[in-house]
Amino acid sequence: MQLFKDQILKVSNSLTGEKEVFKTVKEGYVGMYVCGPTVYSNVHLGNCRTFMSFDMIFRYLKHLGYKVRYVRNITDAGHLENDADEGEDKIAKKAKLEQLEPMEVVQRYTVDFHETLKAFNLQPPSIEPTATGHIIEQIEIIKEILAKGFAYEVNGSVYFDIIKFSESNTYGKLSGRKLEDMIANTRDLAAQDEKRNPQDFALWKKAEPQHIMRWPSPWGDGFPGWHLECTAMSTKYLGETFDIHGGGMDLKFPHHECEIAQAEASSGHSPVNYWLHANMLTLNGKKMSKSTDNNIYPDEIFSGDNRILSKPFAPSVVRFFMMQAHYTSILDLGNDALLASEKGYYRLMDALKTLEKIEPSESSSFDVANWQKACYDAMNDDFNTPVLIAHLFDAVKRINLIKEGQETISKADKKVLQDSVNTFVFDILGLVDQDNNDNNATTINGVINLLIDLRNNARANKDFATSDKIRDELLTLGVQLKDGKEGTTFSLN
């Protein structure tokens, strides 16, 4: 179904600062590029939030009926320790420390990246190219930029000439920075002596004798600049102009700014129509940092092996927590927030099971069509997942009222509601039923049902002390019993 013909999607374009109606370069097709990880360490939770946000966007675009080519790269070379084109390559440095080949480091942390995203139920991109697999394409772009006079070669390195580029183009339009302010606030650094201007950035760096990651080029052995790889891979697979470029807010400057400059210098036009940026994740109100020990990795959350949280949390609970904030908003992770999200998540899963068992009526007191429209309106408003989740919990409330006989739903409306809730919860938000996904779920359910039977026998024998004890002890373990006309059911809180 081509729902995109009826649904008007608006997205927040970082390039214009406006919320704009989404129109694709080619009708029915979306080209989306997202900056992937530099694979020199385990993927951290902040990066996971970014990739999770764009997974949700990927899912919704496909749900609307678009054919989406989603490209997310792997940076396995060229990313130096800072943005001033100096320092060691992050992967090469890790390889020296661990006495490994650089590609061993790449393989180890690429596997970790994929396993972590799989745990969070992220769908794989359409293409996952690597920087080292596209050295030839990067060299060709450098040649093009040199030929057009926007770059220069010095001692085997090639630098992008920001001053020359700015004579006919605008550098800084994505981040809102003005070149004259950048020049005024720049200190001269010894490492930048061979640059004409401190703002210039490397397209190709000469490899010093000790540099272990190196490739031949027309300018001598070296390695590509970090910014260049994304320009090469995005345009190769999506064309010189494509629909969406995404990434974390921290990449807006200089990385994405430099991407725009490179693409405009080589092709003569803007490469991307919509720039989307996911905001940062903080921990207990502070920036995540290894140096201050205010940091946590996904597997530490899943296992509970950390000093920050009170208990383990399932991957889908963490994903639900992430989806409760808009992707452009700063989100603070903490123990209380995860506990609240866990309760909400299980309430949602419980309502889905309840809906399956509800016997429909002749008519509906719940306007399902209007509710469904409100859900689409939320997603069409720049993928507003927190508003969507609010509507889902409105449905949870109605489902429970229908179960209790205070509202009604027809057979046709029940089918629409079931299909819609499942679509929004599982297909678009990307949640999974953690109970059904857990190998121990059957055992746990069996044990709880056995205790319910024992409690029912105690009540029948008027042994209310035992009955109450079973109920209260289960409640302390997060299992809430609900006595109704059709017997006793339970939910996991």
Give residue-wise pLDDT tens across range 212-223: 889 999 999 999
Predicted model pTM: 0.87
Mean pLDDT of 110-139: 97
Give pLDDT, residue 472. 86
Rounded (to 5) percent helix, strand, coil in the chain: 50, 15, 35
Mean pLDDT of 42-54: 95
Distances (CA, A) of 172 to 72, 86, 169, 180: 24, 22, 10, 10
Give residue-wise pLDDT tens across range 312-351: 999 999 999 999 999 999 999 999 999 999 999 999 999 9
**Ramachandran category for residue 80: left, alpha or beta (phi over 0 → left; psi -120 to 50 → alpha):** beta
Q: Which class does domain 282-436 fall in?
A: mainly alpha
Q: For residue 481, give the amino acid letter.
A: L
15/264 Cα distance (integer angstroms): 14
Confidence band for 378, pLDDT divided at 50, 70 and 90: very high
Domain boundaries, the chain: 3-278, 282-436, 439-492
Which residues, 6 or more positions from 430, have their beta carbon under 8 angstroms from its beta carbon? Answer: 52, 55, 56, 59, 120, 121, 122, 123, 319, 323
35/439 Cα distance (integer angstroms): 35
Mean pLDDT of 379-408: 97
Q: 3-278 with 282-436: one CATH topology? A: no
Give residue-wise pLDDT tens across range 142-178: 999 999 999 999 999 999 999 999 999 999 999 999 9
**DSSP string covering 47-83:** HHHHHHHHHHHHHHHHHTT-EEEEEE-BB-S--BSST
Nearest-10 Cα torsion for 400, 401, 402, 406: 160
Exposure b/e, 301-327, CB count within 10 A at least 16 = b: bbeeeeebbeeebbbbbbbbbbbbbbb
Query: Is the confidence at residue 467, as pLDDT, over 50?
Result: yes
Mean pLDDT of 352-372: 96
Which one, of 129, 130, 138, lies nearest residue 205 by Cα? 138
Task: Give the pair of three-digit tokens for residue 295.
Answer: 């940091």
Which one, of 355, 328, 391, lies nearest residue 57 by Cα? 328
∠103-213-247 over CA atoms, to 5°? Answer: 70
Q: Please name every residue paired with 247 in a beta bridge, in sequence order, or none if there are none.
A: 277
For the chain, the average pLDDT equals 92
Task: Give the pair of three-digit tokens for residue 33.
Answer: 């590029």
Q: Which residue has the tokens 């394409």?
A: 137
Query: Is the confidence at residue 452, as pLDDT, over 70?
Result: yes
Which one, of 230, 322, 285, 245, lies nearest residue 45 by Cα? 322
Percentage of the chain modeled with pLDDT above 90: 76
Give pLDDT, residue 445. 64
Q: Which class does domain 3-278 fall in?
A: alpha beta
Judge contact between 327 and 281, C-beta under 8 A.
Answer: no
Query: Is the confidence at residue 58, as pLDDT, over 90?
Result: yes
Q: Please name every residue paired with 132 in a beta bridge, in sequence order, or none if there are none.
A: none
| DSSP three-state, residue 294 | strand
